């Protein structure tokens, strides 16, 4: 516990400040660093509601509703011998809530996450931290990895983020002349992987971690190409066009699955209750092939909607769950190879630029698993150092049931691995440190047909309120600082995907293994649903 004394002392400089905004502006412009291996390369103070328009290879922000903050641009040395560096930004709101929030990246990028720094951190009073992970690239581009760009690979794996967090803790303390109450993390996809990596490897960096992870990269990227292979190339007899996914498969999935949660509303709250049978769409002789499925297509769908096992029955990854077909029309089961996966095998695993989707097989997967290049995988089920009594860290993990880029099955798989490990090896109860929330109709990280706005990483739309019942970031803060764990969230689906257009409907997000079920009343209100065990 931090002492009350240091907390009270920390407040003094603010109390004696007469014109806070002017003084923060000055403090920002005149901020000086004296940390070895860290260069300050820019200080900008943005007044409240001024236009903040910044684009990086990771994300962009174009906001006019942010509170006043100071933007520090840093160059952090990650390996002095190699001369490798990471670009890291620290955003410091004038009206600081005393907490640090580090935000993650996506794909194989490559850029400071300015969107989450603004929309999540600064807007909610946190000092925000984000790094480009040691290189600049679009999330879909892995050509920076090699061959053998080992320092960049390690930076991307964990080093750039870890060093950025350590550095930022110093900077934030110096800037505000106050101690940091608690340190948090939020990230999705690669961002989720980064968060779990920290939990497993650098337990002191954060007190609370929120994430939706690509934490098993070796297996995930194998699965991506496995799904690609079910339908590609476009000339394959098992290829399915966008039109087949949206106009033929999607309606049949809903016909078979939608009503099972008690409500026919075009949304599958929990796909575990339904096994999709594509055979019902089998083409009759002479039937128009744009309206039905051939045997090779049905065979492909069975693979896509089943967990992926190696030939020796070893589990590789989860499956597509029914429910995302019409808005996401197939995800990896489309006409284009998944560039992140292709680049991963080309530039990190095999170091062979001629590698293509067709070259993928179980042997290639085994090489990837064996090498685990850069130590990307964040799958250690032993999280004792983070969650044990000494540190008492908390994890909120969420994932979209309709995510076709990372099967929600991966989230369940890791959660249950931690569950088993921590039960077998400690006296700790997973309920007290790690909770998983699966979101009906949510695609990759954000968006989809469901109620998906609850303050998640990458969501430019706000949660319904800052209250912990609605906002996952408030929930982790409450859990860490008050010991009150979240049981569920009430999330919003906004009209046209924009909060400004009003709330379309609200719905609960239930804690795994519970399932959302309609109990009666207004289907647009979360109050008409319960969280119940699957029967
Ligand atoms: C920077 O920090 C070092 C080590 O703490 C100290 O020796 C040095 O005087 C400092 N330099 C300035 C300009 O403050
Ligand atoms: C530092 O800032 C200057 C001016 O904006 C920019 O040209 C330069 O690339 C930056 N250096 C690094 C390492 O980002
Ligand atoms: C910024 O905009 C918000 C919302 O319009 C308003 O409440 C607030 O007073 C503005 N702040 C300043 C400093 O202009
Ligand atoms: C930011 O948004 C405004 C208003 O929509 C638009 O006029 C402007 O071009 C945008 N700026 C950038 C850099 O995208
Ligand atoms: C730093 O880079 C050098 C040169 O590439 C390399 O030999 C060394 O192993 C690296 N150190 C670490 C800790 O990564
Ligand atoms: C490819 O390069 C990476 C990074 O240097 C290395 O870790 C990996 O072992 C290499 N792969 C093979 C098959 O040699
Ligand atoms: C086959 O069905 C598609 C989609 O409904 C339609 O656009 C097309 O005109 C049909 N083709 C024939 C020959 O009827
Ligand atoms: C959500 O959690 C709260 C607090 O535990 C509980 O009162 C409420 O019934 C839960 N809502 C649902 C839909 O389960």
Report the range of poorest mean pLDDT among 115-129, 331-345, 420-434, 501-515.
331-345
Does ligand 2 come within 6 angstroms of the Cβ of 72?
Answer: no
Q: Does the bond joining 233 to the residue before it have cis omega, within 30 degrees of 0?
A: yes
Q: Ligand 6, residue 371: give the atom nearest the CA.
A: 9
Asked, for residue 497, whether it belongs to a domain, the answer is no
The total number of structural domains that make up the chain: 2
Average pLDDT over residues 317-322: 97
Same domain for 116 and 80, yes or no, is yes
In a domain, 506, yes or no: no
Alpha carbon distance 251, 459 (integer Å): 28
Residue 328's pLDDT is 67
Task: Tell me, in angstroms, the distance from the centre of ligand 3 to residue 50's CA.
Answer: 10
Q: How much is the CA Rg of the chain, to the nearest whole Å?
A: 23
Please check whether residue 517 lies inside any domain of the structure.
no
On whether both 390 and 424 belong to a single domain, the answer is yes
Residue 514 lies in a domain: no
Whether ligand 3 lies within 6 angstroms of the CB of 50 is answered as no
13 vs 304, higher pLDDT: 304
Mean local confidence (pLDDT), 467-492? 98
Query: In the block, which residue shows the tokens 């090896």?
Result: 425
81 pocket-lining for ligand 5 (C-beta < 6 Å): yes
d(CA 1, CA 483): 13
**Cα distance between residue 420 and residue 379, in whole Å:** 13
445 located within any domain:
yes
* Nearest alpha carbon to residue 114 among 140, 150, 81, 87: 87
Does one domain contain both 232 and 193? no
Cα(456)–Cα(470) distance, integer angstroms:
10
For residue 205, the 8-state DSSP code is S
Mean predicted confidence (pLDDT) in 428-433: 98
User: Is the domain of 210 the same as that of 243?
Assistant: no
For residue 297, the surrounding DSSP H or E stretch is helix 295-304
* Beta carbons of 206 and 198 less than 8 angstroms apart: yes
Q: Are residues 166 and 241 in the same domain?
A: no
Please check whether residues 398 and 480 belong to one and the same domain. yes
What's residue 7's pLDDT?
33
- CATH code of 379's domain: 3.40.50.1820
List, by residue number, the catalytic residues.
Answer: 189, 403, 444
Q: Residue 147's pLDDT band (boundaries 50, 70, 90)?
A: confident
**How many angstroms does the Cα of residue 531 sit away from the middle of ligand 8?**
8
In ligand 3, which atom is closest to the CA atom of 68?
13
Task: Give residue 332's domain range.
Answer: 220-356
Which H or E element spans position 191? helix 190-201
Q: Per residue in 190-199, pLDDT tens?
A: 999 999 999 9
151 and 50 in one domain? yes
Specify if 319 maps to a domain: yes
pLDDT digits (tens, 9 = 90+) for 3-26: 333 333 333 344 444 445 559 999
Percent of the chain exceeding pLDDT 90 equals 93
Residue 226 lies in a domain: yes
Paired tokens of 178:
């106050």
Residue 531: phi, psi to the nearest 5? -100, 120
The token duo for 88 is: 């890291």
> How high does pLDDT run on average in the chain?
94
- Check if 60 has its Cβ closer than 6 Å to any atom of ligand 4: no
335 and 202 within one domain: no
Residue with CA at minimum distance from ligand 6 atom 2: 148
Model pLDDT, residue 333: 86
Residue 176 and residue 83 share a domain: yes
pLDDT in tens, 501-521: 999 999 999 999 999 999 999
Does ligand 8 have an atom closer than 6 angstroms to the CB of 189?
no
Angle at 206 between CA 202 and CA 209, to 5 degrees: 105
- Residues 250, 297, single domain; the answer is yes
**What does residue 135 show for φ and ψ, rounded to 5 degrees?**
-155, 160
What pLDDT sits at residue 39? Answer: 97
Q: Does residue 436 carry a pLDDT above 70? A: yes
- 140/37 same-domain check: yes
Q: Closest ligand to 525 CA?
A: 8
pLDDT at res. 15: 42
Distance CA 404, CA 89 (A): 31
**Residue 362: inside a domain:** no
Q: Where are the alpha helices (DSSP H) in 305-426?
A: 325-328, 339-344, 362-371, 384-387, 408-425
Tell me the torsion sign for CA atoms 163, 166, 172, 174.
Answer: negative
Cβ 53 under 6 angstroms from ligand 4: yes
Final residue of a domain: which of 304, 328, 356?
356
> Two tokens at 182?
């608690």
Q: Judge whether 330 and 305 are in contact, CB under 8 Å.
A: no
Please give the distance, rounded to the nearest whole angstrom, from the Cα atom of residue 171 to the centre of ligand 3. 28
Strands (E), 17-98: 38-46, 52-55, 60-63, 69-79, 84-93
Alpha carbon 256 to its chain centroid, in Å, reads 30
Among 15-29, 34-48, 489-503, the least confident range: 15-29
Report how far residue 386's alpha carbon sits from residue 382's, in angstroms, rounded to the nearest whole number.
Answer: 9
Same domain, 285 and 429: no
Using an 8 Å Cβ cutoff, are 171 and 72 in contact?
A: yes
């Amino acid at each position: 516990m931090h002492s009350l004394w240091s907390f009270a002392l920390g407040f003094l400089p603010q109390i004696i400040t007469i014109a806070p905004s002017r003084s923060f502006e000055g403090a920002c412009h005149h901020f000086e660093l004296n940390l070895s291996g860290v260069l300050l390369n820019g200080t900008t103070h943005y007044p409240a509601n001024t236009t903040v328009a910044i684009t990086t290879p990771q994300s962009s922000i174009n906001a006019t509703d942010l509170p006043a903050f100071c933007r520090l641009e840093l160059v952090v040395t990650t390996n002095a011998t190699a001369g490798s560096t990471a670009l890291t930004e620290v955003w410091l709101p004038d009206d600081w809530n005393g907490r640090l929030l580090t935000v993650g990246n996506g794909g194989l990028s490559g850029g400071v996450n300015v969107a989450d720094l603004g929309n999540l951190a600064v807007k909610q009073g946190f000092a925000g931290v984000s790094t480009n992970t040691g290189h600049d690239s679009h999330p879909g581009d892995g050509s920076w990895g090699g061959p053998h760009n080992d320092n960049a690979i390690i930076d991307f794996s964990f080093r750039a983020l870890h060093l950025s967090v350590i550095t930022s803790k110093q900077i934030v303390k110096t800037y505000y002349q106050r101690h940091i109450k608690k340190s948090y993390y939020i990230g999705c996809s690669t961002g989720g992987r980064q968060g779990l990596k920290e939990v497993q490897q650098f337990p002191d960096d954060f007190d609370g971690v929120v994430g939706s992870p690509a934490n098993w990269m070796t297996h995930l990227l194998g699965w991506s190409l496995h799904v690609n292979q079910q339908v590609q190339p476009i000339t394959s007899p098992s290829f399915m066009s966008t039109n087949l996914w949206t106009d033929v498969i999607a309606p049949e999935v809903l016909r078979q699955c939608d009503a099972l949660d008690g409500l026919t509303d075009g949304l599958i709250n929990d796909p575990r209750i339904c096994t999709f049978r594509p055979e019902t769409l089998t083409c009759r002789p002479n039937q128009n092939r744009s309206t039905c499925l051939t045997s090779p297509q049905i065979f492909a769908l069975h693979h896509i909607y089943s967990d992926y096992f190696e030939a020796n029955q070893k589990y590789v990854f989860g499956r597509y769950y029914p429910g995302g077909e019409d808005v996401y029309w197939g995800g990896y089961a489309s006409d284009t190879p998944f560039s992140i996966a292709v680049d991963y095998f080309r530039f990190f695993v095999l170091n062979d630029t001629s590698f293509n989707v067709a070259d993928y097989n179980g042997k290639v997967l085994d090489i990837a698993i064996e090498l685990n290049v850069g130590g990307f995988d964040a799958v250690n089920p032993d999280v004792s150092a983070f969650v044990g009594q000494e540190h008492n860290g908390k994890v909120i993990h969420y994932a979209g049931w309709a995510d076709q880029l990372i099967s929600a099955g991966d989230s369940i798989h890791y959660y249950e691995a931690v569950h088993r490990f921590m039960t077998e090896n400690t006296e700790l109860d997973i309920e007290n440190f790690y909770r998983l929330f699966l979101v009906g109709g949510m695609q990759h990280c954000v968006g989809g047909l469901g109620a998906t706005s609850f303050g998640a990483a990458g969501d430019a739309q706000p949660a319904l309120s800052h209250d912990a019942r609605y906002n996952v970031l408030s929930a982790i803060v409450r859990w860490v600082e008050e010991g009150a764990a979240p049981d569920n969230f009430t999330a919003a689906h906004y009209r046209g995907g924009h909060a400004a257009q009003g709330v379309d409907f609200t719905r609960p997000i239930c804690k795994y293994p519970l399932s959302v079920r309609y109990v009666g009343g207004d289907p647009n209100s979360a109050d008409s649903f319960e969280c119940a065990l699957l029967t």
